[in-house]
Amino acid sequence: MRYYIVWFFYHVAYWLVRIALFPVYSIRFEGRENRPKTKSAIFASNHRSYLDPVLVAMAAPHPFNYIAKESLFKTPGFSHLIRFMGAFPASSSTDPNYDMLAEATRRLKNKRYMTIFPEGTRHTDGKVGKGKTGMCVLSAKSGMPIVPVGIIFDSNNLHFRSRICVRMGKPFYPEDYGITPDSNPLQMKQMKDDVMASIKSMVEENPPFEIIHDEPKHKSSREKAREARDKEKAAKEN
């Protein structure tokens, strides 16, 4: 589909979502001036909720693409909707030649922004995980910068008029780390660590409002599994 058609419908959707969300939540954005001048960029964000892709997109109005679980593309109707809005699967059980990294690189070179959650799962307690180097691999192959994004909630549970802040940090460029498409993950570790440190500082230091550290009601599957392991370990120790 031609870029200007995508741009038009994307911005229509942007304003519809904005009209729907702003009466429900109190949302603010910081650091928008840090968006790079490049035509494409990778936005690496911490992962708090299923609302996160929308929040990142609202912080930088521009056609975004997302990597989503293959299972989300198996529902008729919904599959077409998320594909139209820029989502593409992380894997394909029906196409042995499918290459998610190649598809992501192609989209970045086609003037799309890309949202990535380097932690790999939601962290509902507001903490930031270690992250993975996949974002740096994509940055090296596409030549596009990584923009760190910190999403902060005033509580671990969203509610009516929850305060939400989306912060953007200064971009990281692969060439500043001497990273090329041939670099290995070990050579990319410093860039990954710096991006995650930037996200962590935006989320965990100098919060924009008072935060209530309540017990999350909707934990991720990994968090539930970790809690189960911790309880099992504690039971054995006692």
Kindly report, residue by residue over 64-92, the tens digit of the pLDDT: 898 888 988 988 888 888 887 788 998 99
Q: How many domains is the chain partitioned into structurally?
A: 1
Q: Give me the numbers of helices (H) and strands (E) for the chain, helices first please.
A: 7, 7
Kindly report, residue by residue over 103-156, the tens digit of the pLDDT: 999 999 888 899 999 998 899 999 999 999 999 999 999 999 999 999 999 999
- Cβ contacts of 122 within 8 Å, gap of 6 or more: 47, 48, 49, 219, 220, 223
DSSP 157: S
Confidence band (pLDDT; 50, 70, 90) for 51? very high
**CATH number of the domain enclosing 45:** 3.40.1130
- Backbone angles phi and psi of 217, in degrees to 5: -90, -30
Domain that holds residue 113: 3-237
Please name the amino acid found at residue 137. Answer: V
φ/ψ region of 219 (left if φ > 0, alpha if ψ in -120 to 50, else beta) reads beta
Kindly report, residue by residue over 149-169, the tens digit of the pLDDT: 999 999 999 999 999 999 999
Burial of 92 (0-12, 13-18, 19+ CB in 10 A): middle
Kindly report, residue by residue over 13-45, the tens digit of the pLDDT: 889 999 999 999 999 999 999 999 888 999 999
